[in-house]
Structure 1
Amino acid sequence: MNKFDATHLRKTILDMAFAGSTVHIGCAFSIVELLAVLYRNHLRFDPLDAQSPNRDYMVLSKGHGVMAQYACLNEIGWLPDDELARYFENGTRLKGLADAHVPGVEVTAGSLGHGLSVGVGLALAAKREQTGQMCYALVGDGELNEGTIWEAALFAVQFKLDNLIVIVDVNGFQAMGRTDEVIGLGDIERKFAAFDFDVTAVDGHDERAIDSAYADTRSRKNGRPKAIIAKTVKGKGVSFMENDNVWHYTRLDLRTYESAVAELKENA
């Protein structure tokens, strides 16, 4: 099995969600390929040291999707299997939102819009220190409702942070419904371009296209921050979860857990 295999990562997410009787499965599933390709081929890190000073930064601003990141950190070896099995238990450090106390998690996020601002600060520091570090910040499309996102975008452009790559998970939903129905976002590509970002659009589940987008954007040292607009499917990988926003807050029972696992195995 390849490192950071998408099907295996989704199975790990299901195991965590079932063990912890917790939520946010659909929004974790939509970012699996985006994280898998990033960790496999592009993010620079020391597998023996999650706090290596030369590491690239992976900021999960949509912190409620953290099970997908935990699954990747498990692949690296920073989170052991037995800790994942205790996900969301009393006393565990693996909470339902991104927490910087966990090795490999750069920012405590869950208050939406917060993570990107921290990521911009990390990118600015790396730029000024000339370390060559990149900062990847993954945000959700619903998260774009937050004014802090656009304040951070303005700052990134002002300080020419071409070492910042904002990845937008455009799955079309947020907690309370479709993004277009809650607060319409219009053309997200044009919005980031209007802020003078260097913008690329990609199918967020096509690993080859994602790989090319990461390589191209990282190589462009043009004084402009980057935005990768990734069209995704909420709940991707399990048919009864796909594009069904009930799986933002629905918990697995034994029947739905076993059905989801069986489908992943069938389609592997």
Structure 2
Amino acid sequence: MPDTLDELLTRAKEIRKDILKMTTEAGSGHPSSSMSAAEFVTALYFGGFLRYDVKNPQWPDRDRFILSKGHAAPVLYSAMAEAGYFPKEELMTLRKLGSPLEGHPNMVRLPGIEASTGSLGQGLSLGVGHALAARVDKKDYHTYVMTGDGELGEGQVWEAAASAAKYKLDNLTLIVDRNHYQQTGAAEDVLNMDPIDGKFTAFGWKTQVVNGNDMGEVLKALERARAEKGQPTCIVSLTHKGQGMLKLMAKLGDLNFHGKPMPAKYLDEALAEVSSS
């Protein structure tokens, strides 16, 4: 049975705590990029939207989730551990020599990963391939792809967007984690892609704009996406990078906090903020 709203909210907090703990333990990683996506990833895995079998990761009828923003791997690993793909204790091996929990998802090393990502801009093309394969194989599985907003500056994304619309892939949902930051600064300053929803609408997609850190809105958005017929769906998920530790990030003078772990001396403060958020 899918989790209730309260259970999903609790899971999202636990996932955020795991993200903080594993990246601090590793001494590297992307906690802020992972934490902005926690609601959508939690809803997919535990809200009844993603069909999967942890005992049979290659089940042909499973739904697919492709994390195109592969640097946010900690949010995916935490959800997979919660789901039972591997013991939660293994989260603390993130980025350590020999661990399958690499800095970016590696489908060869970790069962349950649908695509090896991290070279940005490729995930939606992979998702189009999965969605087309479902049609050819007469399967009813759904493919979800999550990109970052900075990633939309890659031309390959728009080739994939055009293809998805051409083939009317209503079994494909794109979630854009619109957290307003990328590696070198604010996404709008690096390359302003607004209006994101307007661009996807022009390409022939059904679009939604939601508060991606509001679990109730996330659930409704995914329900609408699954009900859509005749065209793919793009959900622009308005989020905050580092959601759950925003006060601490402000205190430390960095609202982007890209590609670095929370220093160990601040970890307890960060975990306490997540618990109270």
**TM-score under structure 2 length normalisation:** 0.92
1:149-160 equivalences in 2 (<5 Å): 149-160=157-168
Q: Is the 8 A contact 1:64 1:110 kept in 2?
A: yes
Residues of 2 paired with 1:165 and 1:248: CA distance? Answer: 26
Q: Is the 8 A contact 1:234 1:244 kept in 2?
A: no
Aligned to 1:209: 217
State whether structure 2 residue 202 is matched by structure 1 residue 197: no
Give the aligned length. 266
Deviates further, 83-92 or 246-255: 246-255
Residue of 4, 7, 14 corresponding to 1:2:
7
Residues of 2 paired with 1:185 and 1:17: CA distance? Answer: 30
Residues of 1 paired with 2:21 and 2:89: CA distance? Answer: 11
Task: Mark the CA change 1:246 to 1:171 in structure 2 (over 3 Å): closer, same or farther.
Answer: closer
Residues of 2 paired with 1:185 and 1:203: CA distance? Answer: 18
State whether structure 2 residue 35 is matched by structure 1 residue 25: no
1:156-235 equivalences in 2 (<5 Å): 156-221=164-229, 223-235=230-242
Deviates further, 23-32 or 90-99: 90-99
Unaligned runs of 5+ in 1: none
Q: Is the 8 A contact 2:67 2:147 kept in 1?
A: yes
Aligned to 1:258: 268
Task: Mark the CA change 1:246 to 1:168 in structure 2 (over 3 Å): closer, same or farther.
Answer: closer
**TM-score under structure 1 length normalisation:** 0.95
Residues of 2 paired with 1:87 and 1:183: CA distance? Answer: 31
Q: Is the 8 A contact 2:36 2:243 kept in 1?
A: yes
Q: CA RMSD in A?
A: 1.6
State whether structure 2 residue 81 is matched by structure 1 residue 71: no
Residue of 81, 86, 90 corresponding to 2:93:
86
Deviation at 1:81, TM superposition (A): 2.1
Q: Is the 8 A contact 1:177 1:245 kept in 2?
A: no
User: Which residue identity lines up with residue 107 of structure 2 in the other structure?
Assistant: A
Deviation at 1:241, TM superposition (A): 2.8
